[in-house]
Amino acid sequence: MTNNKFCGIMTMVIKMEKKIVRTIVLKVSDNTKAKMVKYYEDKRRGTIPPYVVFQAKDADTVVTLYESGKAVFQGISADIDANIWIEMEKRLNKNSKIEIKRIDNNNNGKSKKPRDSRLYHTNSIGSDEVGTGDYFGPIVVTATYVTKEDIPFLEKLGVKDSKKLTDENILSIVPELIKHIPYSSMILNNPDYNKKYNPKMNLNAIKANLHNKVLLEMTEKFSNYDYVIVDQFTTPTTYYRYLSDGKVERNITFVTKAEDQCLSVACASLISRFIFLKELDKLGKTYDVVLPKGAGYNVDEMGADLVKKYGPDILNKVAKLNFRNTDKIKKLVTN
């Protein structure tokens, strides 16, 4: 397929999805293609452009699989959906190099939200979490303390939101990062998560309590800060309502996409991801498997394999049972 034809089809897809903010292009092998065809079978759109195997809509993402093996993910959750198939590609083709390209669409031509200098060029304590979208593995919440003097070092190191860096980048950057940046992290393992989770203590409530603990630890250690910043995942009113017991850090500035605005949050995101990857790897080695990230089709398959080998109680030890994957795994095991 010529570049002109490919660009033309890409333009058509962008026009079809008004909320597209990100595009990820992944080259997949034939065995991964077969998995994708099966997974998206009931999500397909009727009319497809030339050279396309299928086009499907899955929540906030449009997925287009080309005959050439290029899989294009476009939409608000493009990174989440693409990661499912990146992990599948790694699992099925261990010796193959992953070919992936990320494109920013700048929210359909709208200018990117400008960085707030007050939040960036400042002394701040910021927190962020990782693992809340992953069926396997823990939730990790980290708070870091970053001063104005740290900014040149962090920029030179290439600190960004963990979602914009590969896991390999994060595993390389963070050991150097934690030598210079003070931080506090909390790891909520799967058995404890499953024990805590209930209608009154939902995921956001769990996150709020973890954020509060690491923020309190950092604000008690460091007093020379201008802002305490949380990557906003719920309204401030609801956040504080979740923290009804004990001491509460209330001097918080809530910011959406705070990783892009504030280096302490960006550092917190990277450190949380680093710890999550290490914990997931450790958990997988316990059962002699490589546990996939995310909550996609490959996760269901792995969950079913684990249940068949170790029994249904294994899921409480390695997974977040409230995810829909649990029901899907039960169906795979019984079929």
The Cα–Cα gap between 136 and 299 comes to 8
Same structural domain for residues 273 and 327?
Answer: no
Same structural domain for residues 131 and 262?
Answer: yes
pLDDT digits (tens, 9 = 90+) for 168-193: 889 999 999 999 999 999 999 999 99
How many CA atoms within 13 Å lie on the side-chain side of 140? 22
* Residues 208, 239 contacting (CB under 8 angstroms): yes
Tell me what pLDDT residue 322 has: 95
The total of other beta-carbon atoms located within 10 Å of residue 134's CB is 22
Same structural domain for residues 97 and 222?
Answer: no
Same structural domain for residues 78 and 155?
Answer: no
Q: Does 145 fall in a domain?
A: yes
Q: Does 14 fall in a domain?
A: yes
* Residues 38, 53 contacting (CB under 8 angstroms): no
Burial class (CB in 10 A: 0-12, 13-18, 19+), 116: middle
Three-class SS of residue 228? strand
Same structural domain for residues 276 and 134?
Answer: yes
Q: Does 237 fall in a domain?
A: yes
Domain of 10, CATH number, reads 3.30.310.10
Q: Does 224 fall in a domain?
A: yes
* Residues 329, 300 contacting (CB under 8 angstroms): yes
Report the amino acid identity of residue 252: I
- Which residue, 71, 104, 137, sits at the end of a domain? 104
Report the amino acid identity of residue 331: K
The Cα–Cα gap between 78 and 19 comes to 11
Burial class (CB in 10 A: 0-12, 13-18, 19+), 333: middle
Nearest to 230 by CA among 193, 268, 201: 268
Tell me what pLDDT residue 231 has: 92
The Cα–Cα gap between 275 and 204 comes to 20
Element (H, E) at 237: helix 236-241
The total of other beta-carbon atoms located within 10 Å of residue 77's CB is 16
* Residues 139, 207 contacting (CB under 8 angstroms): yes
Tell me what pLDDT residue 163 has: 60
Q: Which residue range is the domain that position 298 belongs to?
A: 291-334
Contact residues for 313 (Cβ-Cβ < 8 A; gap 6+): none
Same structural domain for residues 9 and 81?
Answer: yes
Question: What are the angstrom distances between the C-alpha of 111 and each of 60, 108, 263?
Answer: 21, 9, 21
Report the amino acid identity of residue 33: K
Nearest to 193 by CA among 319, 37, 27, 104: 319
Same structural domain for residues 181 and 255?
Answer: yes
Tell me what pLDDT residue 285 has: 96
Domain of 166, CATH number, reads 3.30.420.10
Query: What does R_g of the chain's alpha carbons equal in angstroms?
Result: 21
Weakly modelled stretches of the chain, pLDDT under 70 = 1-21, 104-114, 160-163
- Which residue, 54, 71, 104, sits at the end of a domain? 104
Same structural domain for residues 88 and 199?
Answer: no
Same structural domain for residues 70 and 135?
Answer: no
pLDDT digits (tens, 9 = 90+) for 15-44: 333 343 578 999 999 999 999 998 888 888
- Which residue, 77, 104, 131, sits at the end of a domain? 104
DSSP state of 319: B
Same structural domain for residues 128 and 197?
Answer: yes
The dihedral over CA atoms of 232, 172, 165, 322, expressed in degrees to the nearest 10, equals -50
| Number of domains into which the chain is organized | 3
Q: Does 39 fall in a domain?
A: yes
Q: Does 109 fall in a domain?
A: no
Q: Does 110 fall in a domain?
A: no
Same structural domain for residues 192 and 271?
Answer: yes
The Cα–Cα gap between 71 and 17 comes to 16
Q: Is this prediction's pTM over 0.85?
A: no
Q: Does 286 fall in a domain?
A: no
Same structural domain for residues 95 and 44?
Answer: yes
Tell me what pLDDT residue 302 has: 95
Contact residues for 167 (Cβ-Cβ < 8 A; gap 6+): 273, 277
